Amino acid sequence: MHPLSHGPFLVDPIGGLTLHRAPALRFAWRGRGCEARIEEGRISLIAQAGRVPSTAEDVTARPGAFAALSQMPGELPEGWRVRLLPDHRIQLMSQQSMPDVATATRLVGAMVRFALALDPYLDRLESAGVTAGAGSAKT
């Protein structure tokens, strides 16, 4: 019998729990879903930055959106990445080392710094035609 997945846990046949994935703290910034995770001495932060419009939505915005997206990796701060998902959603991600002990204050501080650092990239994507997209506050 295979373990049952229940939230961030795997439940074995006798009820034992193992962490399947790191628990996440979800928040929204400028109408976009964001997520913070503490994993093995680091904080991982992800923002759903938007979505490249489809040709049915705005055929003229697509080239500018893809051009802005292609320039972004070289302009991001150290430790940041950009990822284009198959459904054309764009994620901006950052990983930071967690010194010493993870505390709520350090986690919230990292979340605030990440959210504030997102602003110029969100502005650039918006000006290139990338939309927040329906349901983007969900991660």
**Phi, psi (5° rounding) for residue 66?**
-70, -35
Answer whether residue 135 is part of any domain: no
Identify the domain containing residue 45 by its residue range.
24-127
Position 137 pLDDT exceeds 70: no
Answer whether residue 81 is part of any domain: yes
Q: Give the total number of structural domains in the chain.
A: 1
Answer whether residue 122 is part of any domain: yes
Residue pair 127/82 in contact (Cβ under 8 Å)? The answer is: no
pTM: 0.78
Answer whether residue 58 is part of any domain: yes
Give residue-wise pLDDT tens across range 78-128: 999 999 999 999 999 999 887 777 778 888 999 999 999 999 999 999 999
pLDDT band, very low/low/confident/very high, at 1 (cuts 50, 70, 90):
low
Answer whether residue 139 is part of any domain: no
Distance separating alpha carbons of residues 7 and 87, to the nearest angstrom: 24
Answer whether residue 18 is part of any domain: no
| Residue 35: half-sphere exposure toward Cβ, Cα within 13 Å | 15
pLDDT of residue 135: 46
